[in-house]
Structure 1
């Protein structure tokens, strides 16, 4: 394909007889480097704004698209810099309006090219433009075709694109849509400070994915999306209201994390207390604690050996009293008989007090109950087996507690357990994920929670993550590293910018702090380069507006 074929095709797409390429001409390549190519503009008047075939151009600025006619093919690039020499003679020429005598220089980054005898854009690789190649403004059809070719993932070729949820920043009238595999095959994280449009972008993507028939599991910590989806299109549950967590479905490790039991004495005592109550439950002694004072460790071990992997239920209300039975040691000069150990009792006292505080919390009692309500485990299993999406309202949970982390960890581990068999793939959406991920344990060691494990292994199971956060610095580096795609809105704090700097090119890093509400940069391993977008606002209900300080006058 040569430059004449490019403009002939653009004219056909625009519904016109011909596009005169001379109207799009800018100049020639005067310098070539690895970073950018320098363009010698014909004269300053060429850079004035213009309108051709309902297309508007402002070539005096930056970020607009150009094409280069080269022996190596048709290159497309983005202008990074415009400049004219700063001299007295130039000043006089500008003052007198002699623009034709001024010769600006423009620098442009080459993004892709159409090789000879081909019709699609390819990464530039080792190919480059050459000195004296002619440069033109890129017609709309070329820009559209280029952005449609950005998706480089082979598995996306057989998919249809989602309904467009954004427009190109370089061409505000050009809608752009992406294939599901491009966005989600390596997981997608949406990042932005409060008021940047992060939640609006998430809703727009969810809306298009839902309309396309994708299966979605939504975890909403704030209730923003409570009225977004109709019950005819998605199942809904509300933790602590119509759905509870059966204590026996929570693993001992999760209880240790929830109650922040220290690894020395508290964690083993808590584990033994739960095992003892499981033994009581199995033997129809559900309301009684397991008395350990006066028995022996050998007898206790014999009883605990009767528990199977299916014996997980226990009476959570007895856990505080059972913890008091765990502070024991062998009595001196006896046959292993156990007595109270005051040293262990003092060490366990903070854990017992913390447990008492949890049990007195109305929210905690509603959330962790026996099967008098719908069990979260059963609702999740029904979701895995079915085809409908599921919305989990976690707004009644105090996100400052460890409970929030437990909920996400519980759901993620349940997904991992149940997705081993062949089932329909789905998107897992977690809003404000920094609230629910652990960075380290109390002793400072790194941990890998259920969400991080799912980020590593979920793609094999058909689970694709869509996460949002306003604080990427509060998300573990392990989880961040698993994100193959990021939609980044405005960020202003240096530490937040530093945490994602390796995911953006140099130009994008400079723009992040200046983005307007709704503007974002999409970066992905599945795209040839970063894309500047203006996100469309979904028409679905979204409870994310802030109340005004000024009351309306009556």
Structure 2
């Protein structure tokens, strides 16, 4: 090992170092710390700054975290001790890999690409068990966020038994069950050939629900919605609209089943002669909600009737619905369904893309308000029922604070907004702020993973996808020089 600098530690947890400006050390990278007397440690650099200012900078200074006690190229147990001076050099890939393997403790790993700022091109591997905590995936448009999340979901399907349900407002994940053919863009021929059979088996229990041809219906039975959500559809308040609300509740009780439609409610209200009933029938007509495509007609199955007991993954193609109101209603309905069935206690990852439109801090409509309330409950209590959130957004400051504050994991792609980066550094205070601030310099597909999904904060470059990606930008051929 060729020393690049010197380090010291006053507590055995953190170290400070100085090195030459050409030492090749990077934030997020790993170093060996060798102390006289045969003590040796593995550390991770957290921050670097220029040394003494002057006309010529020849020295850098920084700090890092001690990650493990080492012996040769192996990891041994025990705690680090304070030291006054240690030789510092970039760590060999073998010892970094041994350290990361020890953190997983035999549990499944999700290889999503390669590690950055680590010698040897080591695989970037997330800890599958970490998704038993709530996760935020954040990045601006064009950062590779959708592609990278697709890679994570593919690996979860391949390597675990965790059920996955995706609220997909932009139809980005409807191709999750379609395996890329070798030769397609982003497909590695050798790797894909080796994994094809396993992947096809993993997605055999995948259901795509939407309003497009070939998809399973994305429709609810109005009568099966929680009574509070039925009232929301009709914009009925039990105090403000006391007379109409009372009529509505009486009609529901008289029907006696959950298989009724809005048309059934309207017809019964129209056949009654008191003012409250007449006003309720007029309300249903005026709101024009009776014939929305999200309602299952009488005699036809609702979405819940088409989902088998042993389902493995569901994609709800909200982007196929014709209006924002229907997308908002259906999103709130799906969230309410999972929360109301929490006592099944079946581990499920609920993925919500464009989460700032489902559970915003300031709801724009009554359905966002209801979804925010249910998601806040899932964020606070869902883990004990096996409900885990994975929230995806470009605008973290717009997310409901009671939902965002419960996220322990962070997958961060490129972010240019300084205020968003500062906000994330505050919310995820357990992640070193200098690593979060690296997001402004990330390129396409580069990111940071931190929290329970990564034993140490992990800088990665996303690898190839197995499935067909949705949500890509249209070609920029319009910007090519015109020939005259």
Same fold by TM (over 0.5)?
yes
Q: Does 1:483 align with 2:413?
A: no
CA contact (8 A) 1:191 1:470 kept: yes
Q: Does 1:67 align with 2:32?
A: yes
CA distance in 2, matches of 1:242, 1:40: 62
CA distance in 2, matches of 1:505, 1:224: 31
**Structure 1 alignment gaps of length 5 or more:** 1-20, 49-57, 95-101, 152-156, 283-310, 327-337
Structure 2 counterpart of 1:190: 137
Structure 2 counterpart of 1:314: 260
* Closer/same/farther in 2, CA of residues 499 and 372 from structure 1, 3 Å limit: farther
CA contact (8 A) 1:72 1:129 kept: no
CA contact (8 A) 2:446 2:461 kept: yes
CA distance in 2, matches of 1:60, 1:495: 28
CA distance in 2, matches of 1:440, 1:83: 43
Structure 1 counterpart of 2:459: 532
Structure 2 counterpart of 1:256: 231
CA distance in 2, matches of 1:252, 1:237: 24
Q: Does 1:435 align with 2:357?
A: yes
Of the two, which has the highest radius of gyration? 1
CA distance in 2, matches of 1:258, 1:439: 21
Query: Which of 159, 170, 175 is 1:212 aligned to?
Result: 159
Structure 2 counterpart of 1:165: 112
CA contact (8 A) 2:73 2:95 kept: no
The worse-fitting range, judged by mean Cα deviation, of 431-440 and 445-454 is 445-454
Query: Which of 275, 279, 282 is 2:249 aligned to?
Result: 275
State TM-score, norm by structure 2: 0.77
CA distance in 2, matches of 1:175, 1:198: 19
Structure 2 counterpart of 1:133: 86
SS of equivalent to 1:500: helix
CA distance in 2, matches of 1:493, 1:261: 40
SS of equivalent to 2:350: strand
Q: Does 1:26 align with 2:4?
A: yes
CA contact (8 A) 1:427 1:466 kept: yes
* Closer/same/farther in 2, CA of residues 84 and 189 from structure 1, 3 Å limit: closer
CA distance in 2, matches of 1:186, 1:30: 35
CA distance in 2, matches of 1:113, 1:203: 32
CA distance in 2, matches of 1:355, 1:123: 71
User: How far is the alpha carbon of 1:234 from its aligned partner?
Assistant: 1.7
Query: Which of 42, 47, 50 is 1:76 aligned to?
Result: 42
1:83-102 aligned at under 5 Å gives the runs 83=50, 85-86=52-53
CA contact (8 A) 1:489 1:520 kept: yes
Structure 2 counterpart of 1:506: 433
CA distance in 2, matches of 1:391, 1:417: 19
Query: Which of 162, 175, 184 is 2:123 aligned to?
Result: 175
Query: Which of 94, 109, 121 is 2:64 aligned to?
Result: 109
User: How far is the alpha carbon of 1:213 from its aligned partner?
Assistant: 5.0
CA distance in 1, matches of 2:52, 2:361: 52
User: How far is the alpha carbon of 1:387 from its aligned partner?
Assistant: 4.3
User: How far is the alpha carbon of 1:545 from its aligned partner?
Assistant: 1.6
User: How far is the alpha carbon of 1:510 from its aligned partner?
Assistant: 2.3
Structure 2 counterpart of 1:330: none
CA distance in 2, matches of 1:495, 1:260: 36
CA contact (8 A) 1:77 1:108 kept: no
1:202-241 aligned at under 5 Å gives the runs 202-214=149-161, 215-230=163-178, 232-239=204-211
User: How far is the alpha carbon of 1:243 from its aligned partner?
Assistant: 4.0
User: How far is the alpha carbon of 1:201 from its aligned partner?
Assistant: 1.3
User: How far is the alpha carbon of 1:525 from its aligned partner?
Assistant: 4.5
Q: Deviations over 1:325-372 (max 9, x none)?
A: 99xxxxxxxxxxx9648xx99xx79x9568624337x6x1x2113343
User: How far is the alpha carbon of 1:108 from its aligned partner?
Assistant: 3.3
State how many pairs are aligned: 444
State TM-score, norm by structure 1: 0.69
Query: Which of 245, 248, 257 is 2:220 aligned to?
Result: 245
User: How far is the alpha carbon of 1:190 from its aligned partner?
Assistant: 0.9
CA distance in 2, matches of 1:205, 1:454: 22
Higher relative contact order (CA 8 A, sep 6+): 2
Q: Deviations over 1:89-123 (max 9, x none)?
A: xx6xx9xxxxxxx7x35333133231789953679
CA distance in 1, matches of 2:249, 2:27: 67
User: How far is the alpha carbon of 1:200 from its aligned partner?
Assistant: 0.9
* Closer/same/farther in 2, CA of residues 537 and 406 from structure 1, 3 Å limit: same
Q: Does 1:201 align with 2:148?
A: yes
Q: Deviations over 1:38-75 (max 9, x none)?
A: 4454xx5xx65xxxxxxxxx626654422112359422
SS of equivalent to 1:492: coil
SS of equivalent to 1:395: helix
Q: Does 1:367 align with 2:321?
A: no
Q: Does 1:409 align with 2:337?
A: no
Structure 2 counterpart of 1:358: 288
* Closer/same/farther in 2, CA of residues 213 and 84 from structure 1, 3 Å limit: closer
User: How far is the alpha carbon of 1:141 from its aligned partner?
Assistant: 1.0
CA distance in 2, matches of 1:433, 1:456: 17
Q: Does 1:265 align with 2:240?
A: yes
CA contact (8 A) 1:216 1:426 kept: yes
CA distance in 1, matches of 2:9, 2:134: 40
CA contact (8 A) 1:243 1:374 kept: no
Q: Does 1:454 align with 2:378?
A: yes
CA distance in 1, matches of 2:235, 2:418: 31
CA contact (8 A) 1:244 1:373 kept: no
